A and B are shown apart, each in its own frame.
Chain A
């Protein structure tokens, strides 16, 4: 059984193999072959992950480290590339490769149409290369045995995120030529850099204090250091939190995630909902021995998560883009997870991470199916409408149509029944309706919050209410009522290659709760091998002490009732009287400026722009115009360096050294030759006899010399 763990490097190298084959031979392969090869690489990774999980299960959850290669050895610093197989990392591997495989398969169908609508079929292969690279990087992240290896993966997934957000880098989300998508990619990358800087500071502080970045050594020393210098652990955990806010899109660095929806929808599902953005949650869960030592830092993390959960949920209510709603929902749900792991409820947080991966991937992919359905309808219209199909009018008549705008949808439940039912399942799971997966995981978080921090509980409960509301709003707007656009009226259902992975995800969204049912707590016991849960048996009020095998009926009932209430409200507002084409949002009037705020993301982007970006541009402009151009270029280079050089060359070198020295020497040489020849030419008088005399004299002299010698 031990031998099974030596397979672990394959989880990184199988996707790498897949992407290499696609890079080298992909040019001659068909689209299907490329897609299925990439999916097979991801699928094989999943198989390996399952084997690892089985090996771990039969080894009773004992963590295993598999040394793979020496990476850095400088003096005493020794950082190997070691794989860590424990229940936490294997959970992440299963989620990443499992959901990842399904999304790969889905993308075979999705990208087939996407590259045709966007009119660049050559990018099909590139997409799968990036996707496989992402899986490899994510695996490095979750399987590393040190913070440095984790950071390698952390940066790697950031790169993949950048590449995939900017996948259609030369257009905007509607396919018009523009740099909007690549700006979104840059925004994501730069925002993440700020977070990564925090992570780097955490790593350096850790190395300074512990002399190591290996998980085992750091956690072993943690208590000792915490007793000696408690400030160090607080600093490390808070620096780490900055990294988490970047990668997991929490306040204040969440702003990149909504823009990241510029990427193709499978990317939004895989990277920006299910896996990469949960890396921050994983990081905190992984660092549990540090966080549990500093309750103050834990509280800050929990508050950041809870405030983000509510804040993002309110923005989601005012969004019109189907993917933007889901993006803010993702931020909100990540807030739930961060709050959970911040409070020390690691199992609840990780449980929500897993179920969220299922249902949010399902929702995103279904949204992708809806968008493509509308694209198909729009395309169908463009080619079959006799009025607009006039000669040469093919390009002009394509008025700007946003297939992601929910105001263009409506009534899709009849046109796309499969997607509709899948979307319903995802929505119910996200809203936390019994017995869907989200109910169990969200309920666990809420219960732990109620026990530990009532204010976090209040924030999260409100956020849960908003969650159900905006999801209800989305369902009514997208699938019910009458089509508000011709394209919606002609939308077509997606092919099987897309819907089958969705059905699997839907199944997981329904049954995912079974992982950690009250009374059984399979998942909790599984993670216990890695994370020691500290039981806080404080003085709890009586209603919180009720426990049905770990389930508190009052909290569960409260959250479910709130969710149902929210869905009922959403029906009152959006379902009972469906939106007509061109009608304003019915919430706009009663809520007034509050809705304007929600609609405009509370002007956070504008605020960041005014406070940071504009100032940054000002500084950059000052540096460029004044410091660089006027000072360095005009004054220093032109006056000082070039001036000195000119003076030297004109005056010193030219006038003195060159003219007076070198020129004079050679002119003198010429003058000498001239004078010598003037006097010598008199000898050459043309009289043969004088030459003969000279010869005779010469001979006499030579002979005289020879004789006299």
Chain B
């Protein structure tokens, strides 16, 4: 049985990688992928906690898993919209570099 700490550590590593990816990379696609990584690290933490608390209380508890499904659904929707935006932007600018998308600055 793998202890909870390992899951959380993995989740933290994944989240950090995702966050760094969002901050460092300029390609919009890569940034999306990094966001997915952060979302899934959170999902991992949810599921790990859910399993852990289920064991401790001895009763089946699905709230963590339920949250994960919601997150996956929302992430899917977000990706759909995000990709649509990226396609639209690519049609105008012919690249997907986020640093080029700064025409709305104050």
Contacts and interface: CB of A to CB of B under 8 A. Distances in A.
| Interface size of B as a range | 10 to 19
A258 B104 CA distance: 101
Interface string B3-24: 0000000000000000100111
Contacts of B24: 689
B106 A689 contact: no
A681 B106 CA distance: 6
Contacts of B26: 689
B105 interface: yes
Contacts of A686: 101-105
A692 B102 contact: no
A684 B99 CA distance: 13
B83 to A, nearest CB: 16
A687 B99 contact: yes
B45 to A, nearest CB: 14
A610 B103 CA distance: 98
Contacts of A692: 22-23
A693 B25 CA distance: 12
Interface string A664-700: 0000000000000000010011111100110010000
Contact of A696 (B23, B98, B106): B23
Interface in B29-46: 31
A101 B26 CA distance: 120
Nearest to A683: B106
Contacts of A689: 22-24, 26, 31, 98-99
B70 to A, nearest CB: 20
Contact of A684 (B19, B101, B103, B105): B105
Contacts of A684: 105-106
A377 to B, nearest CB: 105
B8 to A, nearest CB: 15
Q: Which interface residue of A686, A693, A696 has the most chain B CB atoms within 10 A?
A: A686
B23 A693 contact: yes
Interface in B48-106: 98-99, 101-106
Interface of A: 681, 684-689, 692-693, 696
B92 to A, nearest CB: 16
A686 B101 CA distance: 7
Given A689-B26, A689-B99, 9 more contacts: A684-B105, A684-B106, A687-B98, A687-B99, A687-B102, A688-B98, A688-B101, A693-B23, A696-B19
Contacts of B99: 687, 689
9 contacts: A685-B102, A686-B104, A686-B105, A687-B102, A689-B24, A689-B26, A692-B22, A692-B23, A696-B19
Contacts of B103: 686
Nearest to A689: B23
Q: Which 9 A-B pairs have the closest CB atoms?
A: A686-B105, A686-B102, A684-B106, A681-B106, A688-B98, A692-B22, A693-B23, A685-B105, A684-B105
B82 to A, nearest CB: 12
Contacts of B31: 688-689
Contacts of B102: 685-687
Contacts of A688: 31, 98, 101
A681 B105 CA distance: 9
A687 B98 CA distance: 7
A572 to B, nearest CB: 124
Interface centre among B24, B101, B105 (most CB of A within 10 A): B105
A702 to B, nearest CB: 15
Contacts of A687: 98-99, 102
A693 B23 CA distance: 6
B53 to A, nearest CB: 21
Contacts of A681: 106
A684 B105 CA distance: 6
A692 B24 CA distance: 10
Contacts of B19: 696
Contacts of B23: 689, 692-693, 696
A693 B98 CA distance: 14
B16 to A, nearest CB: 11
Contacts of A685: 102, 105
Contacts of B106: 681, 684
A67 to B, nearest CB: 95
A687 B22 CA distance: 12
A688 B24 CA distance: 11
A689 B19 CA distance: 10
Nearest to A685: B105
Contacts of A696: 19, 23
A125 to B, nearest CB: 86
B39 to A, nearest CB: 14
A688 B85 CA distance: 14
Nearest to A692: B22
A693 B19 CA distance: 9
A675 to B, nearest CB: 15
A334 to B, nearest CB: 103
A328 to B, nearest CB: 104
Contacts of B22: 689, 692
A693 B102 CA distance: 16
Nearest to A696: B19
Nearest to B104: A686
Contacts of B104: 686
A688 B28 CA distance: 10
A518 to B, nearest CB: 125
A694 to B, nearest CB: 10
A692 B19 CA distance: 9
User: Which of A681, A685, A689, A696 has most chain B Cβ within 10 Å?
Assistant: A689
Nearest to A700: B19
Contacts of B101: 686, 688
**Residue of A684, A688, A693 contacting most chain B CB atoms (<10 Å):** A688
A246 B26 CA distance: 115
B35 to A, nearest CB: 10
A460 B1 CA distance: 153
Nearest to B34: A692
A246 to B, nearest CB: 93
A439 to B, nearest CB: 120
Nearest to B24: A689
A689 B103 CA distance: 14
Nearest to B25: A689
B95 to A, nearest CB: 14
Nearest to B35: A692
B103 to A, nearest CB: 7
**Most central of A681, A684, A692, A696 by chain B CB within 10 Å:** A692
Nearest to B22: A692
A686 B104 CA distance: 6
Nearest to A688: B98
A145 B24 CA distance: 116
Nearest to B102: A686
A687 B99 CA distance: 6
A676 to B, nearest CB: 13
Contacts of A693: 23
A686 B102 CA distance: 4
B78 to A, nearest CB: 15
